[in-house]
Structure 1
């Protein structure tokens, strides 16, 4: 599955990476995924070609398998496979013979038990038959007498019994087939299209020497041109569909429950409009073109349960064939919900999330699930969150603490937070967040580390925020060390984002004598002391304070 390259006109207000960054969402990386930098690491150490896929939450596989079996087209394929037992005569192409086609449509509930069977019902039944054959739910063979017959495939029984592995493997194969067919259909030339070449022969039908050879050559060139056009159109359609599916995948990762439905126009705009720009008149036309191109492909995928899709209302199309009327961007009165829905609505289902994730994994991308890091101990949890680029820290912490004894969980987290390595400040910040989630019941474990030189300052701050009135003030050395450690954690978490760091810098307890304060701070024995002082010197708005911080940073570097 091709990775989506975000259109980017430059650095956004949020500080997003500039052009060339490859992200799966038009959102700020460090805001979404936690720390990606460490002491000695910066943006230059990141692979510009890396694609960071956000973690998602999926239902259990048994539930996904049940959803797959409930998809009509997939269920029909299973039903037709069972119907072939013990065997059923087919034609030389493996298709149902004419006498069996209408009964197949009735079997699937596509036609009444009695009366006329519509052509559309037969076509749908044959499509389900074709899918069952493609999935090897139906196998075609020949008897000793030379008769072509269909029999159930070996996967039918475990699939009917609901074996999750079998069902999901079959469904994923079916989804891949439909995805390819949707792209093929979108890339087919319109009826009557003759390519670029003309017919051979002189005007008025004159027969000149070599005209037959010339005609053959022209026809070959025309065929090659048409094939090239079809292949190019197919590649463009496949890329567009892949990008749209990834946007929808990201939407389900970050949307509030119930907010995953995306208007088709919004989806198209995310694919067309460079970040930070407003759609121009020209881009509005491109958005409409993308909507029209995606509409039939998304409808095809909806048949296999990847999407819930409400297609574009055909009445919205202009008289000119193939051109749809896009919603006006700057109308005085915005469209109401019902009117807006006529332009198309799409939502990725849990099955769709599962399918896209499997395609990403097959292509070598890291596509994590929420809770992947929560299966180990606290050390693995905090280290994993600190060092991973695509993780939702709060979700991982919340999953880990669920159903754990608060005191024991807090003790394990605090022990894992110790250390002087490059990621240690991040671990302590994450530990503080987890303790906040645990709340008051974790207090006994926190009080046990009040005198710990690495954890004591943060422990005191946490207890005070909890409302404890008997917390002793930390010694000066502990207080200064905690200031550096907390700032270092933010430096890592923000990736050095100036806006976020300036807010933190303004809260530094610098007195009216910055030389004295920084004279103490540069002596703090912390691996990030010089980095913190350099950041203050670069970003503090008070020139005197900034100057003293830079001088202190130089002393810290010299000492180190």
Structure 2
């Protein structure tokens, strides 16, 4: 797939952003992916991170193969290949001969068993035959007497039997063909200009260059749109992955942090019109659920100009007339395969949920492309809650660079496990590293017999919690924690205690508070405390 040219990758969304216009690509990369960046991540690493795509959940290949066989266009190709047995005469180009086209249309259920066959039905039958040939479901040859014939290919039988590897390989090849044809169709000039006398050769060459440039632009546009839709399947709740076509186009046009200008609104409309036929083609092969643009919206009769998206607020029903699109499970599979072929890291949810608790936490913390809660959910599935909680808490101890993140993950696991993990949390209430977080979690369950932590433990837990946010790159969450600091008017006294906390990240946390705290006096005290902590280290 082509590299992105989207203008808003990595943008942060403010509180005033319209909720319906927010997609994952608008948000901060670290906030989205929960990526636990290495301490001291440099600019080069951040540039690399910007091309990552999020982990997704795929259906099992057996289920995907069933879905692929249920796609009409793919099923037609299989039916045509079976119809070729034991052999079928074709023309010199491998197409169905004239007398076979109507029977083929009837075979596919595109025309009534009796009576005249509509021309469109024969065209669809020819398309199905062409796809069967492209997929090598039928093979072409010549007999000894010079006749051109087609016979079923070796993949037909395993495909008919539903062999997942065969079906998905064929379907993915078909998807690639449809994708190429969709791009080619979008890049053809509507009205080629007539060359002047004596300029035929130069005009032909120039026209070919223009078509190739248009084709590349269309391919890049379609790839970018598919990548955005792929992201929505990772971050949207099930059933909520449908995106208005106008929102999809806006994400490809509007630079980060900007409101769309009048010119941009026109560009958004143009992109919608360009994407509409290409998405419709991919929907035919089951990659997308797509409701196309209502053609009446762009009716220019009676002197009215075309509708421009974004000029007036739309309700849900009116917005749907501008097109709605969702990547299907098959589409998810297909886009991921294309991403992998192009060298992208396109992981699956659960890839890191292997081995014991220590291996899980180590892998999640060191990955820059991970959904931590999802990995925990996969790892916890089927495990006995109390044993799992004990294992995770034990694995979260330590003073190395990623230890704060491991403890955050362990507490998240407690949250997912619920009351079944309570005995494990009570066992570590006096642990100097885990006690503060364990007591806070138990108090959150409503347990009234849990004593408040001692001052030293409470301060250490504060630093540990802040350190986890520093590692995670979540500046928004960091600002919220800073806003809730119990410093009051006597900030110097609080910081005088904190800089002495024996934690590897004490100085880093204090420096972050000094940089981000909105009150100048508090920020100054934090910076002074950071200097003392750094000198102590």
1:128–1:9 Cα change, 3 Å? closer
- Tell me, yes or no, if the aligned pair for 1:6 and 1:24 is still in contact at 8 Å: no
1:341–1:550 Cα change, 3 Å? closer
- Tell me, yes or no, if the aligned pair for 1:77 and 1:132 is still in contact at 8 Å: yes
Q: Distance in 2 between matches of 1:119 and 1:87?
A: 25
Match of 1:212 in 2: none
For each residue in 1:169-210, what CA deviation from the matched residue of structure 2 results, as whole angstroms up to 9, or x when unmatched?
A: 00000000000001111111224x126x422xxxxxxxxxxx
Among candidates 523, 533, 536, match of residue 500 of structure 2: 523
1:326–1:277 Cα change, 3 Å? farther
- Tell me, yes or no, if the aligned pair for 1:155 and 1:166 is still in contact at 8 Å: yes
- Tell me, yes or no, if the aligned pair for 2:24 and 2:32 is still in contact at 8 Å: no
Q: Distance in 1 between matches of 2:10 and 2:64?
A: 41
The DSSP-based 3-state class of the residue aligned with 2:290 is: strand
Match of 2:19 in 1: none
Q: CA deviation at 1:455?
A: 1.3
1:539–1:287 Cα change, 3 Å? closer
CA RMSD of aligned residues (A): 2.4
Q: CA deviation at 1:254?
A: 2.0
Match of 1:315 in 2: 296
Among candidates 523, 526, 529, match of residue 549 of structure 1: 526
Matched, 1:490 2:488: no
Q: Distance in 1 between matches of 2:499 and 2:379?
A: 37
For each residue in 1:132-171, what CA deviation from the matched residue of structure 2 results, as whole angstroms up to 9, or x when unmatched?
A: 0000000111223332211111111110000111100000
Match of 2:232 in 1: 251
Deviates more, 1:162-171 or 1:4-13: 4-13
Match of 1:80 in 2: 80
1:84–1:262 Cα change, 3 Å? same
Q: Distance in 2 between matches of 1:5 and 1:527?
A: 40
Within-5 A mapping of 1:13-92: 14=14, 25-43=25-43, 45-48=45-48, 50-92=50-92
Q: CA deviation at 1:397?
A: 1.9
Within-5 A mapping of 1:339-418: 339-418=318-397
Match of 1:533 in 2: 510
Matched, 1:290 2:268: no
Matched, 1:434 2:432: no
The DSSP-based 3-state class of the residue aligned with 2:470 is: helix
Structure 2 gap ranges (5+): 16-22
Match of 2:20 in 1: none
The DSSP-based 3-state class of the residue aligned with 2:150 is: strand
Q: Distance in 2 between matches of 1:9 and 1:154?
A: 45
Match of 1:6 in 2: 6
Q: Distance in 1 between matches of 2:426 and 2:306?
A: 65
Q: CA deviation at 1:316?
A: 2.9
Among candidates 418, 440, 450, match of residue 429 of structure 2: 450
Within-5 A mapping of 1:87-106: 87-106=87-106
Q: Distance in 1 between matches of 2:173 and 2:297?
A: 35
- Tell me, yes or no, if the aligned pair for 2:10 and 2:28 is still in contact at 8 Å: no
Q: Distance in 2 between matches of 1:129 and 1:324?
A: 41
The DSSP-based 3-state class of the residue aligned with 1:251 is: helix
1:305–1:549 Cα change, 3 Å? same
Match of 2:443 in 1: 464
Q: Distance in 1 between matches of 2:305 and 2:288?
A: 22
Q: CA deviation at 1:236?
A: 0.9
The DSSP-based 3-state class of the residue aligned with 2:55 is: coil
- Tell me, yes or no, if the aligned pair for 1:56 and 1:252 is still in contact at 8 Å: yes
Matched, 1:325 2:323: no
Q: Distance in 2 between matches of 1:110 and 1:479?
A: 73
User: Which entry has the higher C-alpha Rg, 1 or 2?
Assistant: 1
Match of 1:211 in 2: none
Q: Distance in 2 between matches of 1:179 and 1:445?
A: 53
For each residue in 1:18-65, what CA deviation from the matched residue of structure 2 results, as whole angstroms up to 9, or x when unmatched?
A: xxxxx9712221221114433233555423474121222221111111
- Tell me, yes or no, if the aligned pair for 2:300 and 2:306 is still in contact at 8 Å: no
Deviates more, 1:287-296 or 1:351-360: 287-296
Among candidates 199, 223, 231, match of residue 204 of structure 2: 223
Q: TM-score, normalised by structure 2?
A: 0.92
Q: CA deviation at 1:482?
A: 1.6
1:355–1:40 Cα change, 3 Å? same
Matched, 1:303 2:280: no
Q: Distance in 1 between matches of 2:528 and 2:373?
A: 37
1:545–1:295 Cα change, 3 Å? closer
Q: CA deviation at 1:403?
A: 2.3
Q: TM-score, normalised by structure 1?
A: 0.89
- Tell me, yes or no, if the aligned pair for 2:24 and 2:231 is still in contact at 8 Å: yes
Q: How many residue pairs are counted as aligned between the two chains?
A: 529
